[in-house]
Amino acid sequence: MTKPTKPEPLNYRFFRYLAPNAITAASLVFGMVSVVAAHRGQWDLAGWMIIYAVLTDRLDGMVARMVRGTSDLGVQLDSFADFLNFGLAPSFLMHSFLSSHPALGFDGGWREVVLIVACIGWVMGAVFRLARFNVTSEEGVPTKIFFGIPTTLAGGLLVIWYLALLKYADPTVSTLEFGGARVFGDDLKTPNAVWGYTPYVMLVLAVLMASNLRMLKVAKHSRRSATVFVIAVVVAGYVGGFLRVYPELMVFPPTAWIVVFLIWGQTSPTARAYRAPPLFPRKDDGRIHMRPQEDLALDDED
């Protein structure tokens, strides 16, 4: 005879589910602080707050699995946090920074239009990516690869490059002091012309977020040496990110990961064997999918 299990105390269950969602809430705060900082012209703080959000983005899921506190509510909260932190905040930061420096040429004319289009495209790419993930996450999507670049990786890559360029910016653009030594020397300066490519990089990353291109996830590998390397890179990223130092070194791991594994995903027979789930249902399942605002609608009988 099986011994009945003791009911879990209500207060313990409450805190078990609260823990990961509290981390998600903290991540949302980072995104809000980034927007406010960008509005005030605190360009480095705005960027680092997004990097903080990148570093906490995986902690909520990890904690949820550790304490068995996963829930549908947590998944939705995480999605909203990702939209703010990696969709809206980077777009607002790029527009605020570039349009506030006349030396960069985005304060008017056709270049301003290109910047606005790029920022809109970025937000659209991020929200499309997140919405598609939400509706396809339970439809047999392979767990070892991504279809399209995750918003976290795209947002983190854009912002860490921004911080690296800002650290070495020409004095006509920025004289902000960054923590840590200048690894590439005091004589190196970011040419102002480099900033002109930012909108085009944003558009490319927006397309990659919305695409079905296959890319390997960061995970454990069969080779212990590869696993140790990945862990070392991740730990170094956390240390550098939270201490807000050496963005010029932090740019290399995510950049290399995207380049190498986007190529791998399109050329590897293993990766090509995976098929992306359909965006729309293959057939009508008869269900009525309610949108959030539709709970205010009157019944037909009324």
Domain ranges of the chain: 14-137+151-212
Instruction: Give backbone dihedrals phi and psi of 71, rounded to 5 degrees, phi first.
Output: -160, 160
pTM value is: 0.86
Measure the CA–CA gap between 234 and 247, rounded to whole angstroms: 14
Residue 155 pLDDT > 70: yes
As given in the structure block, the two tokens for residue 42 are: 């605190």
Residue 298 pLDDT > 50: no
Of residues 135 and 222, more confidently modeled:
135
Measure the CA–CA gap between 264 and 274, rounded to whole angstroms: 13
Dihedral, CA of residue 47, residue 51, residue 53 and residue 58, to nearest 10: 160
* pLDDT (average), residues 286-294: 57
* pLDDT (average), residues 190-208: 95
pLDDT band at 186 (very low <50, low <70, confident <90, very high): confident
What Å distances lie between residue 16 and 6, 10, 69, 207, CA to CA?
17, 10, 5, 38
Report yes or no: 173 and 192 within 8 Å, Cβ to Cβ: yes
pLDDT (0 to 100) of residue 45: 95
pLDDT (0 to 100) of residue 179: 75
Q: Check: CATH 1.10.10.370 for 14-137+151-212?
A: no
